[in-house]
Amino acid sequence: MSYIDGFVIAVPTANKQKFIEHARQLDPIFLELGAIRVIEAWGDDVPDGKVTDFKGAVKAQPDEVVVFSWLEYPDKATRDAANKKMMDDPKMKDMGKSMPFDGMRMIWGGFQPINDSGKSSKPGYVDGCLIAVPKANKAAYKEMADKHAAVLKEFGATRTVDAWADDVPDGKVTDYKGAVKAKPDEVVVFSWVEWPSKEARDKGWDAAQKDPRMKDLKMPFDGQRLVYGGFAPLLDQ
């Protein structure tokens, strides 16, 4: 089964091109070590939340933009082996010193997909979400995610993924649990929806929100703490 490494990063707006160049150097290394896909997506429609939001998740400053990024591996064993090689490579330490963002505020972790619906293709737009779900509600969440995905695909989405936290460490400054104010009995879900374009996304969501099937969906989690936003892909390798 596939495995996901998910990242959320605060990048200074002025460093956008430097971030792209940094990713172009780094991402091929992940691919050489077994990753099958790398996505870097720049914050485009990232709203402020009343309880949680993407900006708060990484303590973004007014001059920073949130990046939503993920790596896809064929399985966890490949991911673990790749991460070990990266950590043991002195070149990676040098590259880490030149990151065009504050690495202390980057949040990352490993996730196991429980719903992967649709075809993986180069998206024109991505909706990203972070969700705190009670551990006891895993089956209920998967059932909801499957129904949700079916509706969104009917209205133009090309792929939806919901991935259950598997290897999500505590951070010194920021982390996934803090991003959604997760309680001890909750697990973080890293989720995204791929669309052909932003226009298709906007039309798709407008239609979906009017669909009675969406209104009938019961969320097995606290929606007030759901973190979401729209992102424009910078790199898709």
pLDDT tens digit sequence for 28-87: 999 999 999 999 999 999 999 999 999 999 999 999 999 999 999 999 999 999 999 988
pLDDT at 93: 67
The stretch 130-156 carries a mean pLDDT of 97
pLDDT at 87: 84
CATH code of the domain containing 40: 3.30.70.100
pLDDT of 120 > 80? The answer is: no
pLDDT in tens, 89-118: 777 766 666 899 999 999 999 999 999 998
Distances from the Cα of 98 to the Cαs of 18, 29, 39, 69, 103, in angstroms?
Answer: 10, 16, 20, 19, 10
Enter the pTM of the model. Answer: 0.95
Distances from the Cα of 145 to the Cαs of 5, 75, 97, 112, 193, in angstroms?
Answer: 20, 22, 39, 14, 11
**Chain centroid offset of residue 126 CA:** 9
Rounded to 5 degrees, φ, ψ at 89 are -90, 115
Give me the domain span that covers residue 141.
3-236
pLDDT at 86: 87
pLDDT of 1 > 70? The answer is: no
The stretch 200-222 carries a mean pLDDT of 95
Overall number of domains in the chain = 1
